[in-house]
Amino acid sequence: WDETHFGKMGSYYINRTFFFDVHPPLGKMLIGLAGYLSGYDGTFPFQKPGDRYEQHNYIGMRGVSLSKPVSSGLALLCLSIQMLELSKSLPAALLAAFILIFDTGCITLSQYILLDPILMFFLMGAVLSMVKCNSCADRPFSASWWLWLNLTGVNLAGAMGVKFVGLFVVLLVGLNTIYDLWDLLGNLRVSLVMFGKHLLARVLCLILVPLALYTAMFAVHFAVLNKSGPGDGFFSSAFQSQLIGNNLHNVSVPE
């Protein structure tokens, strides 16, 4: 059923038809973009699970569920590096990689048009970036430290932009950040000025950057979906007047 639902959402993006859904837009936009780039024309109805795609090119939309070859490899690499950084043990990293490779849940999810593999990619990326940033703690404000801190923020925005369950990785990174700052505050060798720089760096990379990217996702979402469709009745008359094909399109709506 979920493939039918998210496949239809991808078709809406290709047809630029507005719709209402409970999930943030990033994952569905990536599915729609993959379908568009792979030649899918957005005409398959996605009425019920099990309908045959016939001549419709659905491969791109299934392929962007990144836990197929590309994202499985990336997620595998992320997990292996995380385990190596955390445990300093190559056997532990290899065991974690082995477990992921043969996880039947991941194998099943990778076959369909779903948000979960895309979410897993950003979750893995956020944790990997956090772990790598922690490993650079002895050289703060270096190029690598800034790189991993910014990538953590980018991946947090990606996780939140796919599903709200991404809040859990935001919580994890937040707790890790609080621990780091508390440790720095108690370090007598770190001046208050230096502590302030650390605090501002984290506010910039872990709060402002994710918020800016998350907002940008919705800006793209509303810019692309400019035609009337299912769900626009949930929105104000002023908003509906901006949608092509709506009964209120271009009608003057008093404030």
Q: What is the pLDDT of residues 76-125, one digit of tens each?
A: 667 777 777 777 788 887 787 777 777 776 666 667 777 888 888 898 88
Domain contains 115: no
**CA gap 203, 30 in Å, rounded:** 28
The per-residue pLDDT for range 135-190, each reduced to its tens digit, is 898 899 999 999 999 999 999 999 999 999 999 999 999 999 999 999 999 998 99
60 and 14 in a common domain: yes
236 part of a folded domain: yes
Task: Answer yes or no: do 240 and 188 share one domain.
Answer: no
The whole-number average pLDDT for the span 44-54 is 73
Query: Any idea how long the chain is?
Result: 255
Is 75 contained in some domain?
A: no
Mean pLDDT of the chain: 83
CA dist., res. 156 & res. 153, Å (int): 5
CB-based contacts of 180: which residues, under 8 Å, 6+ apart?
A: 134, 137, 198, 202
Does 83 reside within a domain? Answer: no
Domain identity same for 196 and 147:
yes
Rounded alpha-carbon distances, angstroms, from residue 116 to 24, 62, 65, 143, 212: 13, 12, 8, 32, 23
47 with 2, same domain: the answer is yes
243 and 177 inside one domain: no
Q: Return the H-helix or E-strand segment holding 20.
A: none
Could you tell me if 159 and 202 lie in one domain?
yes
Q: Tell me which residue range forms the domain holding 152.
A: 140-220
Do 172 and 231 belong to one domain? Answer: no
pTM: 0.85
At residue 209, the pLDDT reads 97
Residues 172 and 203 in one domain: yes
Beta bridge pairs of residue 244: 227
pLDDT the model gives residue 204: 97
Higher pLDDT, 84 or 131: 131
Spatial distance between the Cα atoms of 132 and 148, rounded to a whole number of angstroms = 6
82 contact partners, CB below 8 Å, separation of at least 6: 96, 124, 127, 128, 131
| Tokens 């703060």 found at | 140
Q: What is the pLDDT of residue 68?
A: 45
Query: Both 202 and 239 in a single domain?
Result: no
In a domain, 206, yes or no: yes
Instruction: Specify the pLDDT at position 73.
Output: 58
* Residue pair 124/75 in contact by the 8 Å Cβ criterion: yes
Q: What is the DSSP letter of 190?
A: S
Q: Residue 75 has what pLDDT?
A: 62
Instruction: Copy the structure tokens of residue 177.
Output: 């950040």
Instruction: Answer yes or no: do 213 and 230 share one domain.
Output: no
Q: Which pair of tokens denotes residue 63? A: 């392929």
Residue 49 has pLDDT above 70, yes or no: yes
**4 occurs within a structural domain:** yes
166 plus 198 within the same structural domain: yes
Domain total of the chain: 2
Residue 24 lies in a domain: yes
Same domain flag for 144 and 186: yes
Higher pLDDT, 202 or 44: 202
- pLDDT of 64 strictly over 70: no
Domain-located, residue 160? yes
